[in-house]
Amino acid sequence: MTADADNAALQAQVSRSSFYTAMRIMPKAEREAMFAIYKFCRLVDDIADDGTRARPQRAAELDVWRTDLAALYDGHPGGRAAFLAQHVHAFGLRQVDFLAVIDGMAMDVAEDIRAPDLATLDLYCDRVAAAVGRLSTRIFGMEEKPGVELAHELGRALQLTNILRDLDEDAEMGRLYLPGELLRQAGIATTDPHAAIGDPRVDGACRALAARTLEHFAAAGRLMRSRPRGRLLAPKLMEAVYRAMLKDMLAQGWAAPRRRVRIAKPRLLLIVVRCILLG
């Protein structure tokens, strides 16, 4: 696939994602930088999720990304990471955050995550979501301390919402991200993905995780309402959309059979208008 075709495929992919509307409302330079981060995340995530190749092969491919990032930050041609160069320089994006994302993908490559303990799940969320948030808040023009705090809280809120939404899709890949402590509290001892999410008691485990997710949403909301410096419309929109999805899931419950929650376009438009008007 050529670079243009690859970008066109990614554009089509992002247009179907929850991030699309948030990216569209950003100024051009920031929008292009966010698309580059999205592209990076999709490319390394595709490696982690490629069940057709052996784990050592996928781990080696992630190592190539680490090597290319090292070259880019040393001022040499960045190989497959070269498309990030202008945005790294324009916004001061940190190598450690890109590497953290790769480390998160490596957790999925090393083994199928099944009922991790809460500490492991938090580490996973920090790598695959909060690290992306730390890159993003630099593009938003936020100062270091509030930017890192927002990435911590909102990144976890978004990732945990994804986990709660994608139970069935993850199980098909042999994964179960619901924490073992919450499953056991609900009376579920198995770590088999299909067995665990097929147990009607999974609703209790999911509601316990949803309560933790709401705490992260609340903390992110408080921080954004304190009006830190930066362009916060995009993260405010993401917070509103994902919180609406979580609200719908709480109303529907998680007992099988589940319907994958989506935000319809008219409702999404209403959320956008509300975020713009409220600032």
Q: What three-state secondary structure class fits 176?
A: strand
Number of domains in the chain: 1
* 1 inside domain: no
Calculate the dihedral angle through the C-alpha atoms of 144, 77, 85, 10, rounding to the nearest 10 degrees. Answer: -120
| CA gap 175, 168 in Å, rounded | 9
Q: Domain of 226?
A: 14-278
| CA gap 240, 271 in Å, rounded | 7
Residue 37, H or E segment: helix 28-49
Could you give the angle at the alpha carbon of 278 between the alpha carbons of 275 and 138, nearest 5°? 60
| CA gap 65, 81 in Å, rounded | 7
HSE-up (13 A, CA, CB side) for residue 232: 24
| CA gap 92, 209 in Å, rounded | 34
* Alpha-carbon distances, residue 46 vs 50, 88, 183 (angstroms): 6, 22, 28
How many residues are there in the chain? 279
What pTM does this model have? Answer: 0.93
Mean pLDDT on 139-148: 96
Contact criterion met (CB below 8 Å) for 72 and 85: yes
Residue 103, H or E segment: helix 95-110
* 4 inside domain: no
The CATH number given to whatever domain includes residue 248 is 1.10.600.10
| CA gap 128, 131 in Å, rounded | 6
pLDDT for 109: 98
* 42 inside domain: yes
Contact criterion met (CB below 8 Å) for 262 and 17: no
* 122 inside domain: yes
Structure tokens at 116: 């991790």
* 267 inside domain: yes
Q: Quick check: 256 pLDDT over 60?
A: yes
* 8 inside domain: no
What pLDDT digit, counting tens, does each position of 102-114 carry? 999 999 999 999 9
Mean pLDDT on 247-258: 96
| CA gap 164, 28 in Å, rounded | 33
17 vs 157: which has the higher pLDDT: 157
pLDDT for 7: 59
Mean pLDDT on 117-135: 98
Residue 131: name the closest of 209, 45, 197, 245 by CA. 45
What pLDDT digit, counting tens, does each position of 187-233 carry? 999 999 999 999 999 999 999 999 999 999 999 999 999 999 999 99
pLDDT band for 26, please (50, 70, 90 cuts).
Answer: confident
* 184 inside domain: yes
* 5 inside domain: no
Contact criterion met (CB below 8 Å) for 237 and 21: yes
